[in-house]
Amino acid sequence: MRLHEFQAKTLLTGYGIDVPEGRVALTSEDAATIARDLGSEGFAVKAQIRSGGRGKAGAVRIVRTPEEVATAAGLFLGRTFVTAQTGPDGAKAHSVLVERAVTASRSLYVSFFIDAAKAEAVLLAGAEGSEDIEQQVHTGEMRLERLSLAPGEGIGESEAAALGQRIGISGNLLPEFVSLLQRLARAFSALDATLLEINPLLLTGNGDFVAADAKIVIDDNALFRQPELAALREEQEDNEGERVAQNRQLNYIQMDGDIGLVANGAGLGLATLDMVRAANGRPANFMDIRTTASSLDVAYGFSLLLNNPAVRSILVNVHGGGMQPCDTIADGLGIAMRRTGRTLPTVVRLAGNNAEYARFRFANFGCRVIDRPDMWSAATRAVEEARAAGGRQ
């Protein structure tokens, strides 16, 4: 379950994370009132949709007066924004976040996510924050430092300090940065999150770290023990496929592209999506198959892709283990193809429990299956297959 920015920031303040002062408005009049109460010389007005890429979609504005805040809010509220993550239908903004603008001396990147392939939590940190961070990492413009985290142990001071030094944090700022990472790690664990991203993390002239933007994805499998978070779900913002997918043990988000993606684990799914983009491909969706999904649930997910005429190839990137062996995914594809009557070139990267048996199953479904040993070769081949089938360049 993805949270809105304002929801994520509210949760983070409970763990001692500084965020810009601000409130949510449902009308342009409320937005102007909030701005007057803040009394700042500048304001950030942000449409609240559960999607990245809002800046590029025109969903964020920096303005100077309460009147300009009201104007921006009036333009945002009720408007549908289309981003790379929303798909062609976009997402409608029902509220705006009005914040005091933050003057920063430096912008950083910090994220925590679950790497399903390695069954570990991971911390990434970068010396710069950017909306185009995936592309910049791919082109070598930016380097992200990676730190694997032991389950339930948090982050030690020495390893956090070493990470901070690698991205240029030093002097009196280093202990503050270490403390920040430790608090974020506690939040990540306590909230049962699969992703916690601060981009950008701003450093002010006073030496304070401020989470200017925040993204949190909660593990749907853990919502039974997170009733307050479960109550935040807003069904009116989900399309029908996404809504049904939630009940079929799938986290599914439709996007505007021609390459269908299937992965098990939010971290692996996001990495797959980023890899396809780095290969100049266009993902048609994000799909995270939960460990409790059956082959029939998986079949529903594949059916969403096969019933989408824009999809020209499918990329399957799974790591079998525990409750969900690889052949469960393979059987789901077979069922979906029989139901829909459509086959597509399918690139698979398999590892873990029953991977070899899954390859055998894939090979007997009557579709062209291309086995690849690693994520990059799988992503590039899926892009090639989509283009060969007449997908977008």
**Do 199 and 249 fall into the same domain?**
no
131 assigned to active site: no
DSSP helix/strand/coil, 35? helix
Q: Are 324 and 289 in contact (CB under 8 A)?
A: yes
Helix axes 295-306, 326-340, angle to 10 degrees: 50
Single out the residue of 98, 99, 96 nearest to residue 26, CA to CA.
96
DSSP state of 235: G
Can you state the percent helix, strand and coil of the chain, rounding each to 5?
A: 40, 25, 35
**Do 349 and 382 fall into the same domain?**
yes
- Return the CATH number at 167: 3.30.470.20
**Do 29 and 54 fall into the same domain?**
yes
Last residue of a domain, one of 60, 82, 100: 100
**Do 311 and 356 fall into the same domain?**
yes
385 assigned to active site: no
The Cβ-side half-sphere exposure at 94, using a 13 Å CA radius, reads: 7
Per the structure, how many domains does the chain have? 3
pLDDT, residue 64, reads 97
pLDDT, residue 266, reads 83
- Return the CATH number at 33: 3.30.1490.20
Continuous segment of H or E residues that includes residue 7: helix 5-13
**Do 363 and 256 fall into the same domain?**
yes
**CA-CA distance, 26 to 4, in Å (whole number)?**
14
Single out the residue of 8, 13, 81 nearest to residue 49, CA to CA.
81
- Return the CATH number at 362: 3.40.50.261
Q: Are 122 and 146 in contact (CB under 8 A)?
A: yes
DSSP helix/strand/coil, 348? strand
pLDDT, residue 246, reads 75
Q: Are 299 and 339 in contact (CB under 8 A)?
A: yes
**Do 89 and 213 fall into the same domain?**
no
Task: Evaluate the omega torsion of the peptide bond into residue 345 and state whether it is cis, within 30 degrees of 0.
Answer: no
Residues in the chain: 393
**Do 142 and 185 fall into the same domain?**
yes
Asked, for residue 334, whether it belongs to a domain, the answer is: yes
Residue 131 pLDDT > 60: yes
Catalytic: which of 99, 197, 237, 385? Answer: 197
Asked, for residue 226, whether it belongs to a domain, the answer is: no
Catalytic: which of 109, 237, 242, 252? Answer: 109
Residue 236 pLDDT > 90: no
Asked, for residue 26, whether it belongs to a domain, the answer is: yes
Range of the domain at 261: 240-388
**Do 156 and 171 fall into the same domain?**
yes
Q: For residue 255, give the amino acid letter.
A: M
**Do 31 and 140 fall into the same domain?**
no
Single out the residue of 348, 349, 352, 391 nearest to residue 368, CA to CA.
348
**Do 247 and 382 fall into the same domain?**
yes
- Residues pairing with 149 in the sheet: 121
pLDDT in tens, 300-336: 999 999 988 899 999 999 988 766 789 999 999 999 9
**Do 172 and 257 fall into the same domain?**
no
pLDDT in tens, 161-181: 999 999 999 999 999 999 999
Q: How far is CA 167 from the centre of its chain?
A: 23
Last residue of a domain, one of 170, 191, 221: 221
Write out the two tokens for 13: 């303040």
Helix axes 157-166, 173-190, angle to 10 degrees: 120
Last residue of a domain, one of 67, 100, 133: 100
Q: How confident is the model at residue 134 (pLDDT cuts 50, 70, 90)?
A: low
Mean pLDDT, to the nearest integer, of 230-244? Answer: 61
